[in-house]
């Protein structure tokens, strides 16, 4: 029973985030292609992997960023 509660909490926590830093810059950027905030997503990945800022500060910038207005295929 305790394991089921733990798994449920973990699943709830992990599904609450819209974006994840992933392990590498390449892996992080792969999640940007299908999103509605792809520009902000690339900036988020750069913030984490290249600039070395904290997850909270990078997420705050991502959350405040507007959605993409024009998508090029």
1-60 tens-digit pLDDT: 776 665 655 555 544 567 899 999 999 999 998 778 999 999 999 999 999 999 999 999
Domain ranges of the chain: 19-73
Q: Helix, strand, or coil here: 9?
A: helix
Q: Centre a 10 Å sphere on the Cβ of residue 10 and count the other Cβ atoms it contains.
A: 10
The Cα 41–Cα 63 span in angstroms is 10
Q: Count of residues for the chain?
A: 73
pTM: 0.71
Q: What is the CA radius of gyration of the chain?
A: 14
């Amino acid at each position: 029973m305790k394991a089921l509660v733990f798994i449920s909490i973990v699943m709830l926590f992990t599904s609450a985030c819209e974006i994840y830093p992933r392990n590498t810059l390449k892996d992080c950027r792969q999640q940007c292609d299908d999103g509605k905030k792809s520009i902000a997503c690339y900036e988020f990945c750069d913030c984490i992997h290249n600039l070395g800022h904290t997850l909270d500060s990078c997420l705050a910038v991502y959350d405040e960023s507007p959605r993409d207005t024009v998508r090029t295929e």
